[in-house]
Structure 1
Amino acid sequence: MLKIAYHPIYKHPLPEGHRFPMIKYELLPEQLLYEGTCNPSNFFKPDRPDETHILRAHKKHYFESLKGLSLDARAIRKIGFPLSKALVEREVIIADGTLKACDYALKFGIAMNIAGGTHHAYSDRAEAFCLLNDQAIGARYLINEKGLKNVLIVDLDVHQGNGTAEIFKNDSTVFTFSMHGRSNYPFKKEESDLDIALEPKTDDKTYLTTLKHILPKLIEEQKPDFIFYLSGVDVVASDKLGTLGLTIQGCKERDRFVLQTCIDYGLPVMCSMGGGYSPDIKVIIEAHANTFRLAQDLFF
C-alpha cells in the first residue's frame, strides 16, 4: 500500500504575503482523494520524532536555537518566513513524516511525504524556507538505525540541494546527486558528490536525455541500498522561481523514469515533494499529483 505522510500543520498559516507556497499542502491531498488516486487509508499522520534523529544531521546548538526562537535577525532573514514556534513545530513534524516514510518504503517499496524536500537546511543554519533537512535526517536514520550501508539522494528540484551537500560532504555512506538550474538560487552553490547544472530554458528532451544517461550509471557505480527522491515541480517552464523549460508532461516523464528505475534495480524509494511556485495553483497541483499517480500505477 502506498503510504503518504500528511499532517494539518503542513498548511500552517503564515502572515499575508507568505501564504501562497503553503496552499498546495491543503489542496494536494484533497485532489488525490477526490480523483480516487488515494483513499484515507493511504495517509498517515506524523508526530514529533525522537530528537536523536534530528541531531544526527543538525548541530545541537542550532537545533536548540530553533526551538528557543533565539536565532539572530540575519539568520531569520535567510529563512524567508517569520520565525515562530509553530513554524519550527511544522518542520519537526515534516522530519518525522520522512522518517516514518522511510520505514514504509522499506516495507512497500515506496512511500511519500506531501511536504519535505527541505534541502536548503544546513547542519547549522536555515535557508530559503528550510529549517531542518528532512531527507538528510532520514538518510542518517537509515544508516544508524536500519543498518543500511549506502544511500543515494536524487535531488531534481530546480534549486541545488546546497544544505544536503554540506551535511554529507565528508560522509561516504550518502551520495548526493543534484540536477538543477545553473542560474537558479543558490547563487553560491555547495559541492554535491555529483552536480549537473542545466542551462536556462532546458526543454523536456534535453532534460530527460541527461537524466536517463546519468541515473542508471550512478546506481550501478554507487550500489545504494535506498534512494531518496526530491521531486520538486519547480522545473516546469511557468515556475516563478525556476529557470528551466519543462512541460507538465515532461515533469511527469521525469518522475516515471526515476520511479521505474528504482523498480528495475529493486531499490526502495522515499519521495519528498520539494518546490513548486507556478502562478497558477492548478499547475502545481497537477504536477505534484502526477508523482502520486505514478507511484500507485507503477508500484501497486
Structure 2
Amino acid sequence: MDHTTPRRPWAALLTAGGAGAAALVLATAGPAAADTSTATANAVTVGALGVSTVHSGTVSASNPGSGDPVTSAQAPALSVLGGQGGITAGALVQTAVAGADGTSAACAGLVGSGGRISVGTDGVCTTSGGSGGVQVVLVPGTPEVRAFGKVVTPAVEGTILRADAVLVSCRASSAPTTGSTVTLANARVTTAGSTVLSLAATPAPGTEVSVPGVATLALHSVPPAPAGSTQATALTIKLLNGAVAAVNVGTVTCGANARTVPADALPGPALPLAAAALAAVGLRFRRPVLDALTPRSTRRG
C-alpha cells in the first residue's frame, strides 16, 4: 500500500473554506444601498418694489430611501399674499412627493376657488373641483361713475390674465432623469372684457410673450440646475409699470435624487467581528487541514 497518499483532504478543505467565506461576508457586509429623493413646491411669489417679497411659503418632501412615499401639501389662503392686489381670484396649491425608490415629483400654482391638486411620483399632476377660475390683474380698470343716482360713466374692465388653472409640475429619478410640464388651462389676456392674447396650453420651456405696453410673460421658465435636478416656473409676469415688479406663479424643484452606497467595502463596525471570525476559523481548522495535506509517512505517531 502507498502510505504517501493524503487521506480525505477535500472534506476538511471545503469545511475550512466555507467558514472562511462566511467570515469574509461578515467583513464586507455594510449598510444597504438606498435611493434618496427630494422635492419642493411654491404656489406664488410676488416681488414688489420698495417692500419685502410676499409668497405662499414652500412645502418640501424628502425620503431617505425607505418606507412609504413622503407627501407635503398645502392650500394657503390668498390672504397670505397680503394686499398685493394682483391675484383677485383663484386658490393657491402646492404639493411635493418623495418616494423611497429614488423618484420625486412636485406641483404648484393656481386653480379655481376650492380646487385641489394631487401628484404622483411619476410627475402627473391632476386637479379636482374649483370654480371661478384664476384672475391676475395686470392693469386696473376704471370704476363706474354715478351722479344723481344715474350712471355717468360705466365701469371699464382693465387688462386681466384669466385661466382655469396655471400649474407647473416636475419629476426626477436617481437614474438620473428629470422633466417638467406647464399647464395653462384656457389661459388668455383680456382688455375691457375682450381677449387680446391667448396663451399656449402646454408651452415649451423658455417661451416668452408680450402684452404690449403692459407686461412680459415668461412661460415655463427652466433655469440652470445641478445635475440630476430640475427647477421650473409656470408663469412669470414682469409688469412694465406699477408697484409690482414680478409675479411668479408656480415654482417647483425636483432632485437631485441619488443612489447611496456604502463608502467603504469594509465598514469599521464589521472589522472586529470579521477579525474574530477569521481567527476562530484558523484555530478550529488548522489541525484538520494540516492532517489532510500531510502524507501519512511524514506524520508523527
TM-score by length of 2: 0.30
Which structure: greater strand fraction?
A: 2
Larger Rg: 2
Higher helix share: 1
Normalising by structure 1, we get a TM-score of 0.30
Higher relative contact order (CA 8 A, sep 6+): 2
